[in-house]
Amino acid sequence: MPKLKTYQPVAKRMKLTKTGKIRRRKAGQDHFNAREDGQTGRMKRRDFNVAKVDSKNIKKFLPYC
């Protein structure tokens, strides 16, 4: 059986934990952050779990992770 290709755009944005959950970053960290309050800026620095509904599709893109 041939090797499966890893979908690189997903691999650069997602990380897989030891328990099999997928972690992602909040969107919109790039610019225009000065207008936000401190709580919003702190929340954007955190990693979040991907919803279980979406994680099944994302794991297809990451066959060896």
Place of tokens 């779990």: 49
Whole-prediction pTM: 0.76
pLDDT single digits (tens) 25-60: 988 888 888 999 999 999 999 999 999 999 999 999
Tell me if the domain spanning 8-61 has CATH number 4.10.410.60: yes
pLDDT at 1: 85
State the DSSP H helix or E strand holding residue 9, giving kind and residue range, or none if neither: helix 8-13
Banded model confidence at residue 3, pLDDT cuts 50, 70, 90: very high
